[in-house]
Amino acid sequence: MDKPKVVLGVSGGIAAYKACELLRRLTESGHDVRVVPTDAALHFVGAATWSALSGNPVSTEVWSDVHEVPHVRIGQHADLVVVAPATADMLAKAAHGLADDLLTNTLLTARCPVVFAPAMHTEMWEHPATQENVATLRRRGAVVIEPAIGRLTGVDTGKGRLPDPDEIFEICRRVLARGTAAEPDLAGRHVVVSAGGTREPLDPVRYLGNRSSGKQGYALARTAAARGARVTLIEANTGMPDPAGVDVVHVGTAVQLREAVLKAAADADAVVMAAAVADFRPATYAEGKIKKKDGQEPAPIVLVRNPDVLAEISAERARPEQVIVGFAAETDDVLANGRDKLRRKGCDLLVVNEVGERKTFGSEENEAVVLAADGAETPVPYGPKEALAETVWDLVAPRLRASDTTDSDKSG
C-alpha cells in the first residue's frame, strides 16, 4: 500500500525548529512527507535539514521544477496538509485565499484535510483579525488547533506556543485515520468536555474524591479537536498534562466545575459531561488540619448535596439546540437504570458504562452503550477510549446538523 502523502507546510516562526520533530514522527510512522517551507521559514531552519529529515526534495518556491507544475500538484496529491507553525500572516493568507508562494498555492489546491498549528505572540493570536481568520478557516472545515500556553520567544509568556509536536502528530494521525474524504464534521463548533474527578476538601490536607482518571474525557477532547471543533476541556484533578489544541480550565471541586461548565456552555454547541462529579461534599470545611484527640472518637463527617450539573444544564439549556451528553456507571440492570437516568437528567445522550472486572478506572479501554433520548441504543464494544469518543461524536454531529436545518427552516 502507498504511504499516506503528507505535506508539512512550515511558515516563518521560531517554532519552525519544533516542526523538525513533527517531521521525524511523521516519517518514522510510515508517512511520505513533502516539506514546503516559506521563504521566512528558511531563515529559521534551512532546506538541507528538511530534505535530510524527509528524504524528499524540498520545494520552496513556484519557480523551480516548473514542468512538474508544483504549485498545483503538491496540494492535489496530498492526503493531509499540516501547517506547523502557522503564523498569523499564514492564517490570514489562507483565510483570504492568497497564493503568493508555494505553500499558499498548495493550500488552495489541496482537497484533503488541512490542519493548522498556530504559533505566535498572545497579542497576535488574540487580535480580532486573527480570530476572524481562524473562525473563517474552521467554518470552511480546516482543523485549527488552539495554541498552547507557556513561554514564548523572548521574555513573554502566554497563549501562542506551538503545541507539543507529539500532540500535533496525534491530531494528524487521527485526521488521516478518519479518511481523506471525511469532513471534519465538528468544524466551526464549540464543544465543552468535562474530565476527571472532583475533590471535596475536608481540611487543607484532606478531601473526598473518586478514582476517575480523566482518560475518557481527554480522548473526547482530542478526538473533537481532530474533527475540527474548538474544544474547552474542564479538567478536574487528572494530573495529566493539558492536551494540545484545546482550551483547558482547571477546577478542583464540584462547585468550581459547575461554574466553569456553565460559563463555557454559554456559547457551546455540545457539552459532554465525562467528569465524575461528587454528589456530596462535607458540610463544613476546617480551616486548620483536623487533629485526632486522645481518647475521643472521630467526629462524623456530615455531607450536603452538590449541584447536579448535568441535570441543570439539560433543564436550562444555554442554547435550545445544544446537544448534551452524560455518562453513567452502572453495575446492575445497566440498560434499565441507564434509561431511567437519561430521563431524570434530561440530556440527549447517555453513555452507560457497565462497571465490572475488566473495566477498571484508569484503564485505556472501555465498553459502553450510548442511549439516546429518542430511544436509539448504540453498543460500543470493548476497545480504546478513543473509539468510544469517536462514537459519541458520530452521534453528536448529525444532531447538530439536524438542528442547523431546523434553524434555517425557521428563518426561511
Residues near ligand CTP, by CB under 6 A: 254, 273, 275, 277, 279, 306, 308-310, 326-329
- Phi and psi of 323, rounded to 5°? -100, 125
Closer of 16 and 342 to ligand CTP (Cβ) = 342
Q: How far is the CB of 235 from ligand CTP (least distance, A)?
A: 13
Closer of 9 and 326 to ligand CTP (Cβ) = 326
Residue corresponding to grid cell 521560531: 14
56 is catalytic: no
CB atoms within 10 A of CB 256: 16
**Catalytic: which of 56, 105, 133, 210?**
210
Q: How far is the CB of 327 from ligand CTP (least distance, A)?
A: 4
Q: How far is the CB of 341 from ligand CTP (least distance, A)?
A: 6
Closer of 72 and 329 to ligand CTP (Cβ) = 329
Residue corresponding to grid cell 499564514: 90
Closer of 218 and 327 to ligand CTP (Cβ) = 327
Per-residue 3-state assignment (H helix, E strand, C coil) for the chain: CCCCEEEEEECCCCCHHHHHHHHHHHHHCCCEEEEEECHHHHHHCCHHHHHHHHCCCCCCCCCCCHHHCHHHHHHHCCCEEEEEEECHHHHHHHHHCCCCCHHHHHHHHCCCCEEEEECCCHHHHHCHHHHHHHHHHHHCCCEECECEEEECCCCCEEEEECCCHHHHHHHHHHHHHCCCCCCCCCCCCEEEEEEEECCEEEECCEEECCCCCCHHHHHHHHHHHHCCCEEEEEEECCCCCCCCECEEEEECCHHHHHHHHHHHHCCCCEEEECCECCCEEECCCCCCCCCCCCCCCCCCCCEEECCCHHHHHHHCCCCCCCEEEEEEEECCCHHHHHHHHHHHHCCCEEEEEECCCCCCCCCCEEEEEEEECCCCEEEEEEEEHHHHHHHHHHHHHHHHHHHHHHHHHHHC
Closer of 21 and 354 to ligand CTP (Cβ) = 354
Distances, alpha carbon 256 to alpha carbons 154, 211, 265, in Å: 34, 18, 14
Closer of 248 and 262 to ligand CTP (Cβ) = 262
Q: How far is the CB of 321 from ligand CTP (least distance, A)?
A: 20
Residue corresponding to grid cell 491530531: 171
Would you say 369 and 338 are in contact if contact means Cβ atoms under 8 Å apart? yes
Q: How far is the CB of 284 from ligand CTP (least distance, A)?
A: 19
Closer of 58 and 349 to ligand CTP (Cβ) = 349
Q: How far is the CB of 193 from ligand CTP (least distance, A)?
A: 10
Q: How far is the CB of 255 from ligand CTP (least distance, A)?
A: 10
Q: How far is the CB of 300 from ligand CTP (least distance, A)?
A: 21
Would you say 27 and 33 are in contact if contact means Cβ atoms under 8 Å apart? yes
Closer of 52 and 355 to ligand CTP (Cβ) = 355
Question: What is the set of active-site residues?
Answer: 210
